[in-house]
Amino acid sequence: MITSFRLISYLEGISYLLILFVTMPLKYMFESPEPNKVIGMAHGFLFLLYIVFAFVIRPEKQWNNKTLGIILLCSIIPFGTFWMDKKYLSV
């Protein structure tokens, strides 16, 4: 289960960075909204999976409320999921 969460967190982080640094500039600077729609939909799905998996993994990793809050917060901070993986999921 942790391996799946790690994969989801990486994919969620990558999709977030793609939205911020690729598709949003394409949408607003070059008037091309199509990539943003596709990546945005994938990111939304991955974001929801990230949240669900964080709650599923919580008992296994014995995270307290503060730790869970930090892990959830990492999903909305650029590069946060990569830091979270290194701090809370690496062995």
Q: Indicate the residue type of 34.
A: E
- Which residues of the chain are modeled with pLDDT < 50? none
Burial of 8: CB neighbours in 10 Å, binned 0-12, 13-18, 19+: buried
pLDDT confidence of residue 91: 63
User: Domain range holding 66?
Assistant: 2-89
pLDDT confidence of residue 90: 83
Structure token digits, residue 48: 């929801």
Q: Indicate the residue type of 86.
A: K
The total domain count for the chain is: 1
